[in-house]
Amino acid sequence: MINKVVSGAEEAIKDIENGHTLMLGGFGLCGIPENCIAALVKNGVKDLTCISNNAGVDDFGIGLMLQQRQVRKMISSYVGENAEFERQLLSGELEVELIPQGTLATRCMAAGYGMPAIFTPAGVGTEVAEGKEVRNFNGKDYLMEYAFEADFAIVKAWKGDTAGNLIFRSTSRNFNPVMAMAGKVTIAEVEELVEAGALDPDHIHTPGVFVHRIFQGADYEKRIEQRTVRTKG
């Protein structure tokens, strides 16, 4: 079995350079690679293009990278929870490409499946369609959207093994498996790293072939954006 284990976030991200394109897994703050984001903030790499469904909040997640102006361009579907993001966007400091969430996921998927492009009806007749090829299939219009190209995909899983196999937990799965398949280099941080053989092959969500580096993360905060509860009774 090929061993994919690295010592930690700092080693995992050490060759990410200024100007690189990164995919970052997560939906809101759920399932984000907290350790790698912290390491990127610490090492100060900049002019990054970040592909991620959201941009974190002001003081957590990708928001920490935005505060330090490490991000040149964001490719996201929803950024409503981040005031600093909205400010940088409206003032023109940050280049932003907002794309439909399904298009974002499927452009990752296409990359991971080795397909150059997909056709989707999302955005037909809107400003998302500007400059894009439209094809009609069976009477309905579709936009051609290209597979993403990312230098690195950085994902967060629940469990992983030394061979790079990943298992995600609950809705923290979200974009992580499709991004894991899509990076030229994929880095996975996991809550629990086990020896190859300890995970049931039937339960693996992402096969280790897609993962180049894996490490067990530490001190997960797992911040909740909207704590909603009901009372017993």
Partner 1 sequence: MLDKNGIAQRIAKEIKDGFYVNLGIGIPTLVANYIPEGINVVLQSENGLLGMGPFPFEGEEDADLINAGKQTITTLPGSSIFDSALSFGMIRSQKIDLTILGAMEVSENGDIANWKIPGKMVKGMGGAMDLVASAKNIIVAMQHVNKAGESKLLPKCTLPLTGVNCIKKIVTELAVLDVLPEGGFRLIERAPGVSVDFIRQSTLGRLIAADNVPEMKLD
Site residues (CB under 8 A) for partner 1? Answer: 27-31, 53, 76-81, 86, 89-90, 96, 98-106, 108-109, 120-128, 158, 168-178, 205, 222-232
Of the candidates 233, 230, 232, 220, the residue with the CA atom closest to the CA atom of residue 26? 220
Strand 134-137 to strand 166-167: parallel, antiparallel, or no bridges (unpaired)? unpaired
Q: Output 16 or 57, the one with its CB closest to partner 1.
A: 57
Helices (H), 62-186: 62-67, 83-90, 101-112, 176-180
In whole angstroms, how close is the CB of 214 to partner 1 at the nearest point? 19
- Answer whether 26's CB lies under 8 Å from 176's CB: yes
Q: Output 7 or 226, the one with its CB closest to partner 1.
A: 226
> Tokens 């579709």 sit at which residue?
142
Q: Output 65 or 157, the one with its CB closest to partner 1.
A: 157
In whole angstroms, how close is the CB of 158 to partner 1 at the nearest point? 8
> Tokens 């610490």 sit at which residue?
42
In whole angstroms, how close is the CB of 86 to partner 1 at the nearest point? 6
In whole angstroms, how close is the CB of 18 to partner 1 at the nearest point? 26
SS3 104: helix
In whole angstroms, how close is the CB of 62 to partner 1 at the nearest point? 14
Q: Output 120 or 216, the one with its CB closest to partner 1.
A: 120
Q: How far apart are CA 205 and CA 42, in angstroms?
A: 31
Q: Output 108 or 188, the one with its CB closest to partner 1.
A: 108
Residue 223 tokens, joined? 């911040």
Residues in the chain: 233
In whole angstroms, how close is the CB of 11 to partner 1 at the nearest point? 26
Q: Output 110 or 193, the one with its CB closest to partner 1.
A: 110
Separation in Å, CA 142 to CA 11, 103, 115, 136:
42, 12, 17, 6
- Answer whether 124's CB lies under 8 Å from 112's CB: no
